[in-house]
């Protein structure tokens, strides 16, 4: 039996077991996927003995992604770009680490709103943390010519820009209204959407009518940020699809089947979110 798991501290709220458990059942695979609470102090040791403890790999969540980055023997380009690892597998006895948030976000965006890439307009990323880095990397790989990063702490946006090069530009928080003008896509990567008033006070009428608006927060499923954009007539892309799609590459590496993100799987997650709202 192949065993995988998700590690984090705390870990009880993780929805990854629902996703991987669904696929194990759906593809009739003799495998398991559990949750393991691992403290930051114990994370490097846990990963070092992952294979000897019988695991084919694991997911890594907050606050262990940077420790995982340092613990693996080989890093995929997405992990190097973000400086964090969320998916680990064993290959020839060595640990390989990837960051599948880039894949998850870009896949869901392109499936949900394929027209976003047909226009040569800037993309706006709100926030400058690990998730923002994963998404900036995705848009750069997709060939976007100009990416505007708006962050509450300008210095952090400037550090991100220094790491990603001349197609990325930092904007001060007070310039959010200016940054969104003409945007093809606006993505919120901050956690403000988890609060009821998390609209960021954006005047959506200032954006191009074909602008696609996305939030990586998925509890609630429709954040205030997305709701106000939708009410202004814009296309919106929620954060749940990113969560579902980021799980695909790990499952394939561990269990040998490329799984489908089906409507039924999405419904299971929606039911869980509506049931516990955290
Ligand atoms: P992650 O790795 O998941 O992206 P993170 O590294 O903690 O998380 O980054 C969180 C992001 O949300 C940051 O851009 C943060 O802004 P700062 O760099 O100024 O801290 C942003 N953020 C968090 N709370 C915010 C708030 N109330 N208003 C605006 N931005 C906020």
pLDDT of 158 over the 90 cut: yes
pLDDT of 193 over the 90 cut: no
Question: How far does residue 64's CA lie from ligand 1's centre (Å)?
Answer: 17
Question: How far does residue 128's CA lie from ligand 1's centre (Å)?
Answer: 7
What residues form DSSP beta bridges with 96?
74, 89
| Binding pocket residue ranges, ligand 1, CB within 6 Å | 127-132, 151-153, 156, 189-192
pLDDT at 94 (0 to 100) = 96
Residue range 180-190: mean pLDDT, rounded = 97
Which amino acids are annotated catalytic? 65
Atom of ligand 1 nearest to the CA of 153: 19
Question: How far does residue 80's CA lie from ligand 1's centre (Å)?
Answer: 21
The reported pTM is: 0.96
Report residue 195: phi and psi, to 5°. -100, 155
Each residue of 96-141: pLDDT tens digit? 999 999 999 999 999 999 999 998 999 999 999 999 999 999 999 9
276 pLDDT tier (thresholds 50, 70, 90): confident
Alpha-carbon distance 134 to 91, whole Å?
24
Q: Which of 152-166, 190-204, 250-264 is least confident?
A: 190-204
Using most ligand atoms within 8 A of CB, pick from 82, 105, 151 the residue to mutate for ligand 1. 151
pLDDT of 200 over the 90 cut: no
């Amino acid at each position: 039996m192949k065993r995988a798991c998700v590690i984090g501290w705390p870990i009880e709220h993780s929805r990854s077991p629902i996703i991987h458990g669904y696929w194990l059942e759906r593809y009739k695979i003799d495998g398991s996927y559990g949750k393991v609470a691992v403290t930051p102090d114990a994370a490097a040791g846990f990963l070092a003995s992952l294979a000897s403890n019988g695991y084919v790999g694991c997911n890594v969540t907050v606050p262990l992604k940077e420790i995982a980055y340092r613990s693996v023997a080989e890093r995929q380009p997405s992990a190097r770009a973000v400086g964090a690892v969320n998916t680990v597998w064993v290959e020839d006895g060595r640990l390989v680490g990837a960051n599948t948030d880039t894949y998850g976000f870009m896949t869901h965006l392109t499936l949900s709103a394929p027209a976003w890439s047909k226009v040569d307009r800037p993309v706006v990323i709100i926030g400058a943390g690990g998730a923002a880095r994963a998404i900036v990397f995705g848009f750069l790989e997709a060939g976007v010519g100009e990416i505007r990063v708006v962050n509450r702490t300008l210095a952090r946006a400037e550090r991100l820009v220094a790491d990603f090069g001349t197609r990325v530009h930092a904007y001060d928080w007070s310039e959010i209204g200016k940054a969104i003008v003409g945007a093809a896509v606006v993505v919120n990567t901050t956690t403000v959407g988890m609060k009821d008033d998390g609209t960021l006070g954006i005047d959506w009428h200032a954006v191009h009518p074909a602008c696609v608006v996305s939030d990586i927060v998925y509890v609630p499923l429709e954040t205030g940020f997305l709701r106000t954009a939708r009410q202004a007539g814009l296309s919106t892309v929620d954060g749940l699809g990113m969560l579902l799609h980021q799980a695909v590459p790990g499952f394939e590496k561990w269990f040998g089947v490329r799984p489908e993100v089906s409507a039924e799987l999405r419904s299971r997650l929606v039911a869980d979110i509506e049931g516990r709202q955290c």
